[in-house]
Chains A and B, each alone.
Chain A
Amino acid sequence: MAIFRARRVLWRSFSTISSHPLRVCIVGSGPAGFYTAEKILKTHQGSQVDIIDRLPTPYGLVRSGVAPDHPETKNVINQFSRVAQNGRCSFFGNVALGSSISLVELQELYHVVVLAYGAESDRLVGIPGEDLKGVHSAREFVWWYNGHPDGRNLDPDLKNTDTAVILGQGNVALDVARILLRPTSELAITDIASHALTALEQSSIRKVYLVGRRGPVQAACTAKELREVLGIKDLYIHIKETDLKITPADEEEMKNSRIHRRIYELLSKAATAGPSQPSSGQRELHFVFFRQPDRFLESYDKKGYVSGVHLEKTGLKGIGSGKQIAIGTGQFENLSCGIVLKSIGYKSVPVDDLPFDNQKGVVPNVKGRVLSDNSGDPTSFENGLYVCGWLKRGPTGIIATNLYCAEETVASLSEDLELGVLASTTRLPKLGRDGLLQILDNRNVRVVPFSAWERIDKEEKRLGSLRNKPREKLTSREELLKVAGSE
């Protein structure tokens, strides 16, 4: 047992290699990117860290994923802002890995490259009808209501139907349900994108189904979000009491997981709490368990449009280590709807020259050190290349999960520096920031530095104040770059 001062011990020995500073480029400015930057700046006192993002705006999913009615969750932006304002850190927006600058070029410009660009694609259900109009991924829908420039043209049709089906019961699924069902007067004072608020105000959706393959004990959401959706004003909640029956295997799962125990309790209470029928005109939220989608049904009247989901009843089967999976029973039923939102998981996108595990949807790595290929050979690493966040672990967890993820990746990096693993690159100076900006300038890439983001931030807040919103997001690249560029 050792006695330490309750203060940080700084690792100074290898932060300045020879006489030149450690230059690091982080690709992606969400929580993974910023926690990594913060950790590197603290641990390596001479280091210079540049964070690039393909969007003109920073913060990744904190800006484009966290729901508009969850402003406190976004407070972490203040911490990330302070990191960006550190003299040894620079943010460069509107710089895309691949089209603006290649991975190989970054590796030439920097001693270390950390990829933290998350997961911008979707797991597919992989069933017939997935291409029908009206079937959207929850990710796109969230981008749409959060004003992401790539989501503004989604134009979901909320007027052709009174029923929406959401596949999945995780927190993203609950967010989507809540945004569809909350009184729009409550949404009007959030930073929700205006085009989405307008569409929701005109929406005819009154019934939302949250469909899960397994039971209430396995639901992937967490208590805060569930409590919130169950507490929506004047909302009829329906949960089938027979779905709440638990087996010994379920009891075992709950014994080992506080989260699942509390979720089950909340769902049980909600099943019996309210009236057994909705009142006239009341909005409805239905939790559907033990159903997996078999195919999407096409409308007879409107060819090419979805009109429902063909669902198969499931049972649970134990597969060892306390886990249970859903197995089809061969019994089917239909659930009619005019819009489907698939919320079954995000997926990362590979880039050129980067090893990628297509099955897991991540960059193969060991504790954040990128492996040279998928062969599983744990001794062959890509020199100076690291990964953090969803790209490393898969698309799970909360903002804070990236805190620990960054700790691990930076520990690997620090160890590599200490052991001389990176000596072949670190004994040479690298151009870093200056080199990057020169290349981008030659290519006419309009870089958005942090000070330019601050202009965007100020303008969004100003526009928001005119409408009693914390901010009015600028949702097109053109608008963002215009404001970024103005003095």
Chain B
Amino acid sequence: MSMLEAAHENVIELEGACEGSLACSTCHVRVMDMEYYNKLEDPVDEENDMLDLAFGLTETSRLGCQIVASPELDGICLAIPAASRNFSVDGPGYSPSFQCLFLSETAPAIADGTMKEFGG
């Protein structure tokens, strides 16, 4: 099960316009811990192409539909962009605020997380 599917099963609002077919970037998530980011398999070209278009891209950004739950990802924290009112149509002003999800025990059960503000 991918993180996108897990989010939907747990009524977490993570957009998935193309339904996991690598044709959009709406399920963009940030892996909060570099250690966990490194556990993931490198993104293929097609995922990188979509990440090019993601808002608020970071060094540890991935598409939620491409992260597959596994025991070794237990405890991974993913930040989901909650579109904020600071959205600037001119681009560089966009400051997404993020909601953090923690995966508990055997993923993909998602526990409550901490709301943090991340600068753009």
Contact = CB atoms under 8 A, between A and B. Distances in A.
Interface of A: 1-8, 70, 72-73, 75-76, 78-79, 222-224, 227, 258-259, 262, 392-393, 398-400, 403-405, 407-408, 411
B17 A75 contact: yes
Nearest to B84: A407
Given A3-B115, A6-B12, A72 B52 contact: no
Interface in B26-45: 26, 45
Among A4, A75, A223, A400, residue most surrounded by chain B Cβ atoms (within 10 Å): A400
Contacts of A224: 23, 46, 49-50
B83 interface: yes
A76 B116 CA distance: 29
A6 B110 contact: yes
Among A3, A6, A222, A227, residue most surrounded by chain B Cβ atoms (within 10 Å): A6
Contact of A73 (B24, B87, B101, B113): B24
Contacts of B84: 407
B53 A6 contact: no
B1 interface: no
Given A400-B24, A407-B83, A5 B52 contact: no
Contacts of B101: 6
Contacts of B49: 222-224, 227, 262
A5 B15 contact: no
A2 B117 CA distance: 10
A393 B94 CA distance: 15
Contacts of A76: 17-18, 24
B87 A1 contact: no
A280 B89 CA distance: 49
Given A258-B57, A262-B48, A408-B85, A72 B115 contact: no
B18 to A, nearest CB: 5
A328 to B, nearest CB: 28
Contacts of B26: 400, 403
A134 to B, nearest CB: 33
B11 A7 contact: yes
Among B52, B55, B113, residue most surrounded by chain A Cβ atoms (within 10 Å): B52
B96 to A, nearest CB: 9
B81 to A, nearest CB: 9
Given A3-B114, A6-B12, A398 B24 contact: yes
A141 B95 CA distance: 38
A399 B17 contact: yes
Given A259-B53, A398-B53, A399-B24, A79 B17 contact: yes
Given A223-B49, A227-B49, A399-B17, A72 B87 contact: no
B13 interface: yes
B48 A4 contact: no
A72 B48 contact: no
Contacts of A405: 87, 89
Among B17, B25, B110, residue most surrounded by chain A Cβ atoms (within 10 Å): B17
Contacts of A72: 18-19, 21-23
Chain B binding site: helix, strand, loop or mixed by DSSP?
loop
B53 A1 contact: no
A43 B85 CA distance: 14
B32 to A, nearest CB: 14
A403 B13 CA distance: 13
B52 A393 contact: no
B2 interface: no
A262 B52 contact: yes
A78 B23 CA distance: 14
Nearest to A78: B19
B41 to A, nearest CB: 19
B23 to A, nearest CB: 4
A418 to B, nearest CB: 13
Contacts of A398: 24-25, 53
List the 5 shortest-distance A-B pairs measured between CB atoms, nearest first. Answer: A72-B21, A72-B23, A407-B83, A223-B49, A76-B17
B114 A1 contact: yes
Interface string B47-89: 0111011010100000000000000000000000001110101
B112 A393 contact: no
B53 A75 contact: no
A79 B55 CA distance: 21
Contact of A75 (B13, B19, B57, B116): B19
5 contacts: A72-B23, A73-B18, A75-B23, A76-B24, A262-B48
Contacts of B110: 6
A372 B45 CA distance: 47
B48 to A, nearest CB: 7
Contacts of A408: 83, 85, 87, 89
A400 B18 CA distance: 10
B19 A400 contact: no
A262 B21 CA distance: 21
Given A7-B11, A222-B53, A408-B85, A75 B99 contact: no
A258 B59 CA distance: 11
B2 to A, nearest CB: 15
Contact of A403 (B57, B83, B99): B83
Among B23, B26, B46, B94, residue most surrounded by chain A Cβ atoms (within 10 Å): B23
A154 to B, nearest CB: 27
Contacts of B13: 8
Interface string B91-105: 000100001010000
